[in-house]
C-alpha cells in the first residue's frame, strides 16, 4: 500500500480489505503513516448511499422488510469472536496458509481475558506440575513474558500465571497484525447465513458501516455465547451461571484471600504474597483482591449472582448494581489503615458472563468422562488439572454440531455438560479448542470436506507439530 493515501482510498482500504493487512516490522507506524495522509478535516464529499429498508410498524407489529445486504467480504475461514478461543483459532488457521477473517464486537482482542479483566491463566498444569497446555497459548505467554509487567508466575507450578490486560491486548493486536489475517473490530455478528440445505455460509454483522454480510467456506463460532450456531439453528442447552464484574484497584500494597482465579484450590501451597487459591468474591465487603503484574495494582474477581447472560434487561440491571457495589467496596477499602488512597483503576469494560449456551455436539463431554479420565480417538488437547479433577482429554467431536454443517465451535460454548463446561470455559482450555478448530477449518478448506469429515490423524499431526500436547 502506498505511503500516502487519499481519504477516500483509505476508507476503501479499511472497509474492503479489513482493518489489518499483512504485517511489517512496524505495523503501527505504517498504519499511522497511512492515516496521516492528506485527509481533510470537516465536511466530506457525499458517498454512495447504502440500500435502506428500515423496519416498519404495521398493525402494531414491527416488520423487517426483505433486503439485499452488501457483502463486506468473501473469505475462506470466518472466525466470529476475538477472545482466547477466537484469536487462537484465527492465528492457527492463518498460519496454515489459509485466508482468515476475524470479527470482534469490541475494539480490542482477548475477550474476557482482557476486556473482562480475567487475568489468571488457569489451569495449565497436570497433577504433577507438567504444563499440558502449550501451542499458541504458550506462545502468547512467552510474548507477554518479554514485556515488563506483562505476566507474573510463569513456569512456577502450582502457582498460575497472571497477566496484565493491556499487555495482553497489545500482544494480540501485534500477533493479529503480523499474521496477515483480515480483522474487523467493533463489528457485532447478529445472524448466520445459511443455504438451502441449512449449511452455514457466513454471517451478518452490524457496525457503524451498517448491516453487512461476510461469506465464508467455514465459520468458527468463538463468540463464547454460540450466537452464530444458535442463529443457524444448531441445537444447544441454555444455562445460567454467576455473572460478575471484575475490577482493578490502584495504590494497593497488600492483598487478601479473595478475588484470585476461579479455582478454589488452584494451589495447595500456603498463601504467599499473592494468594494462590483465592475464591471468587461473592460478597464485597472491603475486599482487597489479588496481585497483578502491575505494581500496586490489585484485581478483584467477582462471582456475582446467577443470571441470564442472554437477557439484555438482566445484564443491564446487574451491570449497574455491580458498579455501585464496586464503588462501595472501594470506600470500605479506604477505611482500612494503609489503604486510604486506594482508587478504582477500572471496572471491566465487559461483564463477566461465564456460561450461556452449550452446544449439542457430535460428542458431549460429560462429568463422568472427565472424572474417569476417558480417552478419545479424536483427542485435540487437554485441560489441566483443576481442583480435585485430574487433567482430561478434549475430543474433536465437542467442537462439531450434531447436525448443522460448515460450522465449528471453540471456547466456552463447546459441547460439554454444565460441570465440565465450568472447566472447559477457562482461558487455557479455550486456547486449546480454538487452536484445534482453526486447524480443522483449514483442513476443511484444503481437503474440501465438512467439519464432521475432517481427517483426524492429519489434524492431530498438525496439532503435535505446532506444539499442542495430545498425551
Ligand atoms: C468473572 C469471571 C472470572 C473468571 N476467572 C477465570 C480465571 O481465573 N481463570 C481462567 O482461566 N478463566 C476464568 N474465567 C473464564 C474465562 O475468562 C472465559 O471463559 C474465557 O475467556 C472464554 O473464552 P472465549 O474465547 O470462549 O469467550 P470470551 O472470552 O467471552 O470471548 C468471546 C469474544 O467474542 C466476542 N463476541 C461475542 N459475541 C459476539 C458476536 N455476536 N459478534 C462478534 N463478536 C462477539 C466478545 O466480545 C469476545 O471478545 C472467568 C470468567 C469470568 C466471567
How far apart are the CA of 312 and the centre of ligand 1, in A? 17
pLDDT of residue 272: 37
**Consecutive H or E run containing 345:** strand 343-347
* Residue of 79, 294, 326, 62 whose CA lies nearest to 182: 79
* 3-state secondary structure at position 61: strand
Pocket test for ligand 1, best of 102, 224, 300, 414 (most atoms within 8 A of CB): 224
pTM for this one? Answer: 0.92
Distance separating alpha carbons of residues 439 and 450, to the nearest angstrom: 13
Q: Look at residue 178 in the predicted model and tell me its pLDDT.
A: 95
**Which pLDDT belongs to residue 142?**
98
CA of residue 30 to ligand 1 center, whole Å: 31
∠ CA 355-90-156 to the nearest 5 degrees?
70
- What's the CA-to-centroid distance between 195 and ligand 1, angstroms? 29
Ligand 1 lining (C-beta closer than 6 Å):
80-86, 103-106, 111-113, 116, 118, 120-122, 188-189, 222-225, 227, 244, 246, 261-262, 301-302, 352-354, 411-412, 425-427, 430
Q: Which domains does the chain have, with CATH numbers?
A: 72-238+356-465 (3.50.50.60), 241-353 (no CATH)
Cite the DSSP H helix spans in 363-426: 367-372, 418-424
Cα–Cα separations (whole angstroms), residue 178 to 90, 91, 96: 12, 10, 14
Ligand 1 pocket mutation pick from 19, 72, 81, 435 by most atoms within 8 angstroms of CB:
81
> What is residue 275's predicted lDDT score, i.e. its pLDDT?
42
Distances (CA, A) of 107 to 168, 194, 319, 350: 14, 27, 19, 11
Q: Which atom of ligand 1 is nearest to the CA of 245?
A: 1
Residues 398-409 have pLDDT tens digits of 999 999 999 999
Low-confidence ranges of the chain (pLDDT < 70): 1-38, 257-282
Q: Which atom of ligand 1 is nearest to the CA of 303?
A: 1
Cβ atoms within 10 Å, residue 433: 32
- Specify the pLDDT at position 291: 85
Nearest C-alpha to atom 27 of ligand 1 is from which residue? 224
Amino acid at each position: 500500500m502506498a505511503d500516502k493515501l487519499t481519504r477516500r482510498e483509505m476508507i476503501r482500504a479499511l472497509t474492503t480489505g479489513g482493518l489489518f493487512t499483512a504485517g511489517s516490522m512496524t505495523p503501527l507506524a505504517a498504519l499511522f503513516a497511512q492515516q496521516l495522509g492528506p485527509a481533510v478535516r470537516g465536511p466530506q464529499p457525499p458517498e454512495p448511499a447504502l440500500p435502506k429498508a428500515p423496519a416498519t410498524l404495521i398493525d402494531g407489529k414491527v416488520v423487517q422488510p426483505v433486503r439485499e445486504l452488501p457483502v463486506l467480504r468473501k473469505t475462506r475461514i470466518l472466525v466470529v469472536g476475538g477472545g482466547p478461543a477466537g484469536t487462537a483459532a484465527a492465528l492457527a488457521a492463518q498460519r496454515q496458509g489459509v485466508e482468515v477473517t476475524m470479527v470482534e464486537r469490541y475494539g480490542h482482542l482477548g475477550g474476557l481475558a482482557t476486556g473482562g479483566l480475567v487475568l489468571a491463566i488457569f489451569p495449565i498444569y497436570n497433577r504433577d506440575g507438567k504444563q499440558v497446555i502449550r501451542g499458541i497459548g504458550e506462545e502468547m505467554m512467552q510474548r507477554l513474558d518479554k514485556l515488563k509487567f506483562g505476566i507474573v508466575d510463569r513456569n512456577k507450578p502450582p502457582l498460575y500465571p497472571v497477566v496484565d490486560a493491556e499487555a495482553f491486548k497489545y500482544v494480540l493486536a501485534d500477533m493479529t497484525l503480523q499474521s496477515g489475517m483480515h480483522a474487523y473490530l467493533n463489528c457485532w455478528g447478529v445472524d448466520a447465513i445459511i443455504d438451502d440445505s441449512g449449511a452455514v455460509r457466513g454471517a451478518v454483522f452490524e457496525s457503524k458501516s451498517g448491516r453487512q454480510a461476510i461469506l465464508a467456506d467455514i465459520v468458527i463460532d468463538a463468540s463464547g455465547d454460540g450466537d452464530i450456531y444458535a442463529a443457524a439453528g444448531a441445537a444447544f442447552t441454555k444455562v445460567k451461571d454467576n455473572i460478575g464484574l471484575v475490577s482493578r484497584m490502584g495504590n494497593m500494597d497488600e492483598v487478601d484471600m479473595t478475588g484470585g482465579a476461579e479455582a478454589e484450590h488452584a494451589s495447595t501451597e500456603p498463601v504467599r504474597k499473592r494468594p494462590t487459591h483465592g475464591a471468587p468474591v461473592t460478597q464485597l465487603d472491603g475486599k482487597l483482591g489479588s496481585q497483578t503484574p502491575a505494581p500496586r495494582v490489585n484485581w478483584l474477581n467477582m462471582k456475582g449472582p446467577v443470571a441470564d447472560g442472554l437477557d439484555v434487561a438482566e445484564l443491564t440491571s446487574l451491570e449497574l448494581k455491580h458498579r455501585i457495589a464496586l464503588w462501595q467496596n472501594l470506600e470500605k477499602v479506604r477505611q482500612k489503615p494503609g489503604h486510604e488512597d486506594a482508587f478504582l483503576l477500572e471496572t471491566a469494560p465487559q461483564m463477566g458472563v461465564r456460561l450461556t449456551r452449550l452446544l449439542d455436539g457430535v460428542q458431549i463431554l460429560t462429568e463422568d468422562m472427565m472424572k474417569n479420565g476417558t480417552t478419545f480417538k479424536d483427542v485435540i488437547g487437554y485441560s489441566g488439572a483443576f481442583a480435585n479433577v485430574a487433567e482430561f482429554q478434549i475430543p474433536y467431536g465437542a467442537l462439531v454440531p450434531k447436525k448443522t454443517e460448515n460450522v465449528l465451535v471453540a471456547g466456552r460454548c463447546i459441547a460439554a455438560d454444565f460441570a465440565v463446561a465450568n472447566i472447559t470455559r477457562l482461558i487455557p482450555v479455550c486456547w486449546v479448542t480454538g487452536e484445534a478448530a482453526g486447524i480443522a477449518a483449514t483442513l476443511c478448506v484444503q481437503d474440501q470436506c465438512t467439519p464432521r469429515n475432517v481427517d483426524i490423524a492429519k489434524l492431530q499431526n498438525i496439532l503435535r507439530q505446532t506444539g499442542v500436547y495430545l498425551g
